[in-house]
A = this chain, B = another copy of it.
Amino acid sequence: MTTPLASKIAREIGTPCVVIDMDRVEANIARIQAACDKAGVANRPHIKTHKSPLLAKLQIAAGARGITCQKLGEAEVMVDAGIDDILISYNLIGEEKMARLGALQARADITVAADNEVVIAGLPQAAALAGRSLNVVVECDTGRKRAGVETPAEAIQLARAIAASPGLSFAGFMLYPTETGWPDAQRFFDDALAGVRAHGLDAMIVSTGGSPNLKNLGQLKGATEHRPGTYIYNDRMQVAAGVASWDDCALNVYATVVSRAGPDRGILDAGSKTLTSDPGGGLDGFGLILDHPEAKIARFAEEHGFLDLSRSNTRPNVGDVLRIVPNHVCVVVNMVDEVVIVRGDEILGMLPVAARGKLR
C-alpha cells in the first residue's frame, strides 16, 4: 500500500528520502515554546536535530532566546545566516578551534562550555582574537556520565578559574540531567551556586537539556533556559520517552520495497546509510513502518533494510513505498544533504541540511 503522497514523492524525487511535514514542524515549535513560556524558562533549541538556519529562525521567531550548537562548524553556518546568540555546548580544544572561535565571537554572541582546566587554558586565545570577552559555562555531570564535572566542588573551582582567566567571563552552569535525575541535579546546582556566590560570582545562565526532559521543564529551581533538540521533528525515542505522540512525528523516511525473495522477508532501499544503526536506546528494530507497524526493520546493510515480516498480517509488495519513523531523527538528518518539505499532500520543495556533517 502506497499513499498518494508517497507515490508522488517516489515519482518526482525518488526513494529513499527524508520527508518533513511543515504543519507538524510548526505545531511542534509552537507547543514547546508555549511549554517553555509557561515554565518560565527560555527556550534555546539545539539545532543538531535539523541543522538548518531556516528552521532555527522559525524557532527564534516563535520566541526562542537563541540556539545551541554542538560543534563550531554548526555555529559558523548559523552565524553566516545571521543568528547572533549561540551556546556551543561542547569542550573546544586546540589552536585550530581557538582561531575559528575567535573569528566567530567577533561576529556574534557566543557562549561555550568547559568541564576541565585544559579547555579553560585555551579559551583566552579565542577571546584575544575576538577582542571581546567570552562567556563560559561550567558543564556539570548529573548522572549521565558524559562530559561534565562530577562534583559541585570541581564546578566551583572551574568557575573561579574561568573568572580568573584573561578575556573569559564565568556565565553559569550547563546541565543535562537524566530523566529521573532532577532532584540530584537540584542538589548539585544549589551547592555549586552557593559556592560560586561565596566567591563573589553568580550564574547568569543555568541551562538544562534534552527533549526527553521536556516533561521535567521547570523542575530545576533556578534554571534560566532549556535546550531541547529533537522536539522539532520527534521520533520513536521521543514517543517511547512519553514526550511526543506519533502524530507529532514530523519526519518520515520514505523507502521502497525492492525485494521480497522469501515470504517472511523483504528488503527496503533504505539501509544504515539512511536510517543509521542507532539503536534508539534499545528499541525493537530500526524504525516504525507506519504502513506496516507489525513489520520489523531487523538489521541493515548500508543500502539494504532487512524486513522481518513474520509477524505481519499484511505484507508489502515489491515497489510499495513505505513511510518510516526512525529511531532517532537527529542522526538520520545528518545522513542527507537535503530534506523534502511537504505540507499535507503537497511537495513544497527541498531544504538543504546546511550544517550537515560539520564534525569540527
Contacts and interface: CB of A to CB of B under 8 A. Distances in A.
A150 interface: yes
A335 B260 CA distance: 29
Contacts of A16: 359-360
A199 interface: no
B335 A118 contact: no
Interface string A265-304: 1010110111011110000000000000000000001111
A275 to B, nearest CB: 10
Contacts of A360: 13-17
Given A11-B96, A335-B357, A360-B15, A302 B259 contact: no
Given A16-B360, A145-B306, 4 more contacts: A10-B96, A93-B256, A149-B261, A273-B357
Interface string A72-107: 000000000000000000110111110000000000
Contacts of A119: 258, 318
A262 interface: yes
A276 B16 CA distance: 19
Contacts of A96: 10-14
A241 to B, nearest CB: 15
Contact of A272 (B94, B147, B331): B331
Contacts of A160: none
A29 to B, nearest CB: 21
Which 3 residue pairs of A and B lie closest in terms of their CB atoms, listed nearest first? A14-B96, A91-B258, A277-B277
A295 to B, nearest CB: 16
A86 B45 CA distance: 45
Interface residues of A, number: 63
B261 A147 contact: yes
Given A11-B96, A119-B258, A331-B272, A146 B267 contact: yes
Secondary structure of the A contact surface, majority rule: loop
29 contacts: A10-B96, A12-B96, A14-B94, A15-B94, A17-B359, A17-B360, A70-B302, A71-B303, A90-B258, A90-B303, A91-B259, A94-B319, A116-B260, A118-B318, A119-B318, A146-B267, A146-B306, A147-B259, A270-B359, A272-B276, A272-B331, A274-B359, A276-B276, A276-B277, A277-B278, A302-B330, A302-B331, A336-B359, A337-B357
Nearest to A321: B94
A113 to B, nearest CB: 10
A24 interface: no
Contacts of A48: 302-303
Interface string A315-338: 001110000000000110011110
A54 B66 CA distance: 42
A178 to B, nearest CB: 13
A82 to B, nearest CB: 23
Nearest to A270: B359
A337 B334 CA distance: 12
